[in-house]
Amino acid sequence: MATRFFGGAFFSCQSGILPSKTIYKIRGKVDVDHAITEEQSRAYGELLMGHSVMLLGPAGTGKSEFIRHVRKTMPGRMAVLAPTGMAAMNAGLGAVTIHSLFSIPPVNGGYFDVESFTIRRRTAKILKGIDYLVVDEISMVRPDLFDLMESMARRARGKEVFFGGICLLLVGDFHQLPPVIRSEERDLFAAHYGSGNAYLFDAKCLRGRCLSVVQLSKIFRQSSEKFLAILGCVGGGRITEEILRELNGRVLGGATAPKGALTVTPYRESAEQKNHRELEALPGVAREYVGEKTGTFQSANGDDLPSPEVLSLKEGASVIFTCNASNGEWVNGTGATVLRLGQRRIDVAIRRGGSAISISPHEWSHIIPDGDGYEITGTYRQIPLRLGYALTVHKIQGKTCDAIVLQRDRSFFAHGQLYVALSRATSLDAVYLTDPIRASDVKIDRRVIEFYENLSADGPILFPVLPRDE
Ligand SMILES: Nc1ncnc2c1ncn2[C@@H]1O[C@H](COP(=O)(O)OP(=O)(O)OP(=O)(O)O)[C@@H](O)[C@H]1O
Ligand SMILES: [Mg+2]
């Protein structure tokens, strides 16, 4: 059986915002540079036997790389998904967001009535046609969303078994960022999943199920023993005076970070301010591109529009793409530099590879369920770019960065946030801090510690049936 990948003209990390055009297939040539390790080959063997696998391991152990290897070599039809657009981009060409492939519109307050949720024809067709469903960055996947995916897969395939019999590869690290659950949603999650801080491993569809767990341990992204030890402690929620001293030795003080270093901050407004300042500092006059909305185009999950409504750019500005090109030339998150600003078109040079391309406005659609199908409630048209000097930690999970400037601002406030930020860098020398880190920036959720305590070595994990599920 030939390997086939289902990809989509996916546009942003927003849920419920779907391509205007129908999904298309990418017969992918996915280049993998490394031989797989013994640990990774165990996961591969489980998948070959048709067992669903949860592949865990710290940042930089080659989890996403393994996905690209599986896509290239595993016989069978496969869809590769991730919770955010940036994470999907990182999982490789043709990977799309969960919301995009499942055609799940945004819902305020969570997906709790999963069995009555309508399945779009296009989604049903894809779900019926695949043998494997791969999800990267599972730490960010909410259990209600995972339960909804399971229900839709089962119903679409007309088979009353877990995910309708699709073999799963669930990949991630629960020490990294947790799912976004807003404060007003926490009571609902506590009622449905037993905790306001709910994770994919709380999903009801996992109760009583057995998955093969493979934990990768060899870290490839970093090689320095010292930096690995620091990352191990920060990831595990442990901090010492010595680690603080080491990290705070990287505070910039009066020095400037190397050109091209990416600023990473917990706060979206801080990222926007930094982007704005960098644009101001460039010579020349800024040109503004105003997005056009029709109907109701509602942003989801508190995210902004896929591209800013007023996109202000100058020649020489550093930008990132906010959609995937239909020909695969760029994806959401690809970095570029602006070469020329036209009235309706912008020429940019893609940073890696360096090819110059001309970009025109892009159209996103917003959909809601409507009886058996979905209704397009509105569209948004804008140049698919945003400034790329600074990003939030949420947006960089999964990436490897050359040099980063951590801008702490008020604090790193979420479980795993500082760990994700630090572990993007390949060495401590490539990390710069605007302000000293404090012990309180290292946060870990007790529920994650407990989850790992209950996992022994590799082998099957049985998710227990809880009294509240019966
Ligand atoms: N088998 C391998 N041999 C050598 N290098 C590898 C191997 N697998 C991955 N790498 C390299 O290690 C780095 C991290 O890989 P990758 O992004 O897949 O890790 P990850 O486990 O997905 O990390 P994260 O949890 O941050 O998403 C990449 O630069 C990748 O090229
Ligand atoms: Mg990864």
Q: What is the pLDDT of residues 71-92, one digit of tens each?
A: 989 998 999 999 987 788 778 7
Please tell me whether residue 94 adopts helix, strand or coil conformation. coil
Alpha carbon of 397 to ligand 2 centroid (Å): 8
In this predicted structure, what is the pLDDT of residue 261? Answer: 87
Query: Is the pLDDT score of 415 beyond 90?
Result: yes
197, 449 Cβ separation under 8 angstroms:
no
Please tell me whether residue 452 adopts helix, strand or coil conformation. helix
Determine the residue of 64, 73, 90 to mutate for testing ligand 1's pocket, defined as the one with the most ligand atoms within 8 A of the Cβ atom: 64
Query: Any idea which residue has 């960089």 for tokens?
Result: 396
Q: How far apart are alpha carbons 21 and 10 in whole angstroms?
A: 10
Query: Is the pLDDT score of 362 beyond 70?
Result: yes
Higher pLDDT, 370 or 57: 57
Q: Any idea which ligand is nearest the CA of 66?
A: 1
Judge if the beta carbon of residue 62 lies within 6 A of ligand 1: yes
Alpha helix stretches (DSSP H) within 23-142: 38-48, 63-73, 85-91, 98-102, 121-129
- Residue 419 Cα distances to 1, 26, 175, 217, angstroms: 41, 34, 8, 16
Alpha carbon of 57 to ligand 1 centroid (Å): 11
- Which residue in 136, 138, 137, 168 sits closest to 150, CA to CA? 168
Query: Is the pLDDT score of 313 beyond 60?
Result: yes
Determine the residue of 221, 223, 417, 419 to mutate for testing ligand 1's pocket, defined as the one with the most ligand atoms within 8 A of the Cβ atom: 221
Query: Is the pLDDT score of 3 beyond 50?
Result: no
Q: How far apart are alpha carbons 193 and 339 in whole angstroms?
A: 50
Judge if the beta carbon of residue 173 lies within 6 A of ligand 1: yes
Query: Is the pLDDT score of 143 beyond 50?
Result: yes
Q: How far apart are alpha carbons 364 and 18 in whole angstroms?
A: 6
The C-alpha R_g of the chain, in whole angstroms, comes to: 22
In this predicted structure, what is the pLDDT of residue 260? Answer: 78
Higher pLDDT, 14 or 352: 352
Alpha carbon of 52 to ligand 2 centroid (Å): 19
In this predicted structure, what is the pLDDT of residue 375? Answer: 63
Higher pLDDT, 411 or 465: 411
Judge if the beta carbon of residue 398 lies within 6 A of ligand 1: yes
Alpha carbon of 59 to ligand 2 centroid (Å): 7
The DSSP H or E segment spanning 450 is helix 446-454
Q: How far apart are alpha carbons 423 and 353 in whole angstroms?
A: 25
Please report which confidence band the pLDDT of residue 13 belongs to, taking 50, 70 and 90 as the band edges.
very low
Judge if the beta carbon of residue 324 lies within 6 A of ligand 1: no
The one-letter amino acid at 353? G
Average pLDDT over all residues of the chain? 84
- Which residue in 440, 428, 407, 422 sits closest to 59, CA to CA? 422
Judge if the beta carbon of residue 65 lies within 6 A of ligand 1: yes
- Residue 202 Cα distances to 65, 166, 260, angstroms: 26, 20, 40
In this predicted structure, what is the pLDDT of residue 174? Answer: 97
Alpha carbon of 30 to ligand 1 centroid (Å): 15
What does pTM read for this prediction?
0.83
Q: How far apart are alpha carbons 286 and 469 in whole angstroms?
A: 57
Judge if the beta carbon of residue 221 lies within 6 A of ligand 1: yes
Query: Any idea which residue has 């080491």 for tokens?
Result: 246
Q: How far apart are alpha carbons 227 and 246 in whole angstroms?
A: 9
Q: How far apart are alpha carbons 454 and 460 in whole angstroms?
A: 12
Q: How far apart are alpha carbons 447 and 452 in whole angstroms?
A: 9
Query: Is the pLDDT score of 393 beyond 50?
Result: yes
Alpha carbon of 362 to ligand 1 centroid (Å): 32
Other CB atoms within 10 Å distance of the CB of residue 31: 9
Angle between helices 38-48 and 63-73 (to 10 degrees): 50
Q: How far apart are alpha carbons 235 and 165 in whole angstroms?
A: 34
Q: Choose from 230-234, 347-351, 465-469 the range with maximum mean pLDDT.
A: 230-234
- DSSP class of residue 47? H
The one-letter amino acid at 373? G
Please report which confidence band the pLDDT of residue 312 belongs to, taking 50, 70 and 90 as the band edges.
very high
Q: What tokens were used for 305?
A: 């529009």
Judge if the beta carbon of residue 34 lies within 6 A of ligand 1: yes
Judge if the beta carbon of residue 92 lies within 6 A of ligand 1: no
Judge if the beta carbon of residue 68 lies within 6 A of ligand 1: no
The one-letter amino acid at 308? P
Alpha carbon of 171 to ligand 2 centroid (Å): 8
Alpha carbon of 260 to ligand 1 centroid (Å): 22
Please tell me whether residue 468 adopts helix, strand or coil conformation. helix
* For residues 313-330, average pLDDT: 84
* For residues 257-273, average pLDDT: 91
Q: What angle do CA 171, 174, 178 make, to 5 degrees?
A: 110
